[in-house]
A = this chain, B = another copy of it.
Amino acid sequence: MKIIDLTQTLSEKTPVAPVKTCFTRIVQARYEHMYRIDDINLCTGIGTHMDAPLHFDPNGCAIDEIPLEKCHGDACVLHLKDKVGDNIDYGVSAEDVLAFEKEHGKVPKGSHFLVHTGWDRFWDTDKFCPTNAEGGCNFPGILEDAAKLLFERGVTSVGIDSMGIDQGINPKFPAHVVFLKNNILLTENLANLEKVPPTGAKIWMFPLKIEGAPEAPIRAVAIL
């Protein structure tokens, strides 16, 4: 059994979208009484994290109410790194999903669909999610037609290695809406998807159990 860490490291340098709060830390005990203790402040949707339906739906399920059975299972990985290239505004289309299916068969009901754009290689750079003139930021994401197709396939979750499921340039979040209003879990800022084959891997991604939270950090892993 091989475990691949799909998680970015949380630190003061972790990139965040303009609307979100950065990670900060206070080291409040430094071995004066034998131990070190750190306090941290963060947005629950920072770094590699999961969105619960509550993130976009006031009546949706919160992160601590998600059944653990929905947080692991078979992974499909759509490898688009070469096609995305350096196109920061790339939109993953239904056509991209259909091309995956042509090669690997229909996306199975209940599976976890992960999009490898290759954007995680920019994590530590200004290219990961640069702010733009409209006050937003840019990064690749999933188009509405692809979101609707994945909903039709009955996937349990959808993940991506960029800052967000929707393209940064789209302020209407159509993919978030399609997924979260239909109880499909989302994971963002995944890492190392390059190392996961298109089919055959399992994913484990149990969110931090924060009462009534719309999002939570996860330690996501793939198992080969």
- Interface of A toward B, CB cutoff 8 Å: 3, 5, 7-11, 19-21, 25, 28-29, 31, 33-45, 47-48, 54-56, 58, 64, 68-69, 72, 172-173, 176-177, 204, 206-215, 217-219, 221
* A37 & B20 in contact (Cβ 8 Å cutoff): yes
- Give the CA-CA distance A206 to B223 in the complex, in Å: 13
**Which residues of B have CB within 8 Å of A35?**
55-56, 173, 176, 214
A213 / chain B contacts, CB cutoff of 8 Å: 25, 38, 40
With A31-B58, A48-B209, A68-B221 given, name 8 new contacts (CB 8 A). Answer: A9-B209, A19-B33, A37-B215, A38-B213, A38-B214, A40-B210, A41-B41, A206-B206
Min CB gap A3→B, angstroms: 5
Are B56 and A7 interface neighbours, CB within 8 A? no
For residue A9, which residues in chain B have a CB less than 8 angstroms away from its CB? Answer: 64, 209-211
Whether B10 and A21, one on each chain, are in contact in the complex, defined by CB atoms closer than 8 angstroms, is no
Chain B minimum-CB-distance residue to A23: B210
CB-CB nearest in chain B for A30:
B58
Is the CB–CB distance between A39 and B19 below 8 Å? no
Would you list 16 pairs from A and B whose C-beta atoms are within 8 A, ordered by A residue?
A: A3-B68, A3-B69, A9-B211, A10-B210, A19-B37, A21-B28, A35-B55, A36-B54, A36-B58, A37-B215, A38-B45, A38-B210, A38-B214, A41-B41, A206-B219, A218-B219
Report copies per complex: 2
Give the nearest-CB partner of A5 in chain B: B68
A74–B20 Cα distance when bound, in Å, is 39
Q: Report whether B39 and A41 are in contact in the complex, using a CB–CB cutoff of 8 Å.
A: yes
In the bound complex, residues from chain B placing their C-beta under 8 Å from that of A8 are 209
CB proximity of A103 to chain B, nearest CB, Å: 29
**Residues of chain B within 8 A of A215, CB atoms compared:** 37-38
B211–A11 touching, CB < 8 Å = yes
Which single residue of chain B is at the shortest CB-CB distance from A31?
B58
Cα separation A7 to B218 with both chains bound (whole Å): 14
Give the nearest-CB partner of A14 in chain B.
B211
